[in-house]
Amino acid sequence: MKHIAIALLCLTAALVNSSQAQDAPQMDLPRVKLSAGMHLIDAQVAATIEQRSTGLMFRRDMPQSEGMLFVFEQASVQCFWMKNTLLPLTAAFVANDGTIVNLADMKPRTTESHCSKEPVRYVLEMNQGWFGKKGIKTGFKLGGPPFETK
């Protein structure tokens, strides 16, 4: 009976810790420097399923020169939504070579789906309005290590 009680206590602690982690923003992801013409971007890299699933959820603010780069194993049509995301964001759907395929403004706390117009391996989320203020549109090419040919 004592072993069952200890096991239940451990399970409860694990569930509490995992639910707390799901309600907190992820701030400790690896980072990569990207360029958009003369503009530099400090992007957190979400490369695992768990990192991509959490994305920028629960963030209350984000500096203007920061964003999050979602990296997928292979190119496919990528769709994003904002159910637990508190910030208005713009998603840039990006081809292997860094070319922006399309941009989508996304409203916070919605389940509206925003998809790439063609298969992509990368999605860069920035504060809404950042791309427009910099004059960056569909067809613009981003620079940085992920987009360099190997």
Residue 6 pLDDT class (50, 70, 90 cuts): very low
* pLDDT value for 150: 57
Q: Residues 55-103: pLDDT tens digits?
A: 999 999 999 999 999 999 999 999 999 999 999 999 999 999 999 999 9
Average pLDDT of span 103-120:
98
Q: Residues 39-52: pLDDT tens digits?
A: 999 999 999 999 99
Residue 99 burial (CB < 10 Å; 0-12/13-18/19+)?
middle
Residue 13 pLDDT class (50, 70, 90 cuts): very low
- Tell me the pLDDT of the chain averaged across its residues: 88
User: Whole-model pTM?
Assistant: 0.84
- Alpha-carbon span 55 to 25, nearest angstrom: 8
Q: Which residues contact 68 (CB under 8 A, 6 or more apart)?
A: 29, 43, 44, 45, 46, 55, 56, 124, 125
- Alpha-carbon span 31 to 108, nearest angstrom: 24
Query: Does 5 score more than 50 pLDDT?
Result: no
